[in-house]
């Protein structure tokens, strides 16, 4: 549910997405375009990482999603964010929190 960069129905705030090589072109529901680069899809670590490479507001960005097997039939998903300017963390953090809750609900069949 996380490793496919085009199948992120759990993160509706991203809007529509297309891929061109390792670049994900996102059009937010507001119409704002963002270009991201997928930098790591590691099945062994269960890690997905991407950076925003083209956005007029964000100057530095790295998002990391880790899915940690708790070895009891459940898992823990962490979504960490490094971003400049710092104020963008509040906006992206809010959207990410909602997305993680959506991901949990979808994984649990709710």
For residues 52 and 38, is the Cβ–Cβ distance under 8 A? no
Report percent pLDDT > 70 for the chain: 100
For residues 16 and 34, is the Cβ–Cβ distance under 8 A? no
What is the predicted pLDDT for the residue at 64? Answer: 97
12-107 placed in CATH 3.30.530.20: yes
98: its two tokens: 């909602």
Domain ranges, ordered by start, for the chain: 12-107
The arithmetic mean of pLDDT across residues 89-109, rounded, is 91
What is the predicted pLDDT for the residue at 59? Answer: 87
Note the pTM of the prediction, 2 decimals.
Answer: 0.89
Strand, coil or helix: 28: coil
Question: Please, what is the average pLDDT of the chain?
Answer: 92
pLDDT in tens, 33-80: 999 999 999 999 999 999 999 888 888 999 999 999 999 999 999 999
79: its two tokens: 């979504």
């Amino acid at each position: 549910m996380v490793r496919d960069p085009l199948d992120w129905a759990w993160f509706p705030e991203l809007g529509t997405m297309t891929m061109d090589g390792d670049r994900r072109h996102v059009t937010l529901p507001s119409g704002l375009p963002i270009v991201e680069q997928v930098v790591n899809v590691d099945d062994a670590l269960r890690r997905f990482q991407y950076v925003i490479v083209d956005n007029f507001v964000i100057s530095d960005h790295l998002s990391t999603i880790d899915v940690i097997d708790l070895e009891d039939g459940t898992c823990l998903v962490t979504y960490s964010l490094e971003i400049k300017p710092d104020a963008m963390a509040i906006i992206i953090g809010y959207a990410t929190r909602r997305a993680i809750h959506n991901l949990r609900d979808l994984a649990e069949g709710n």
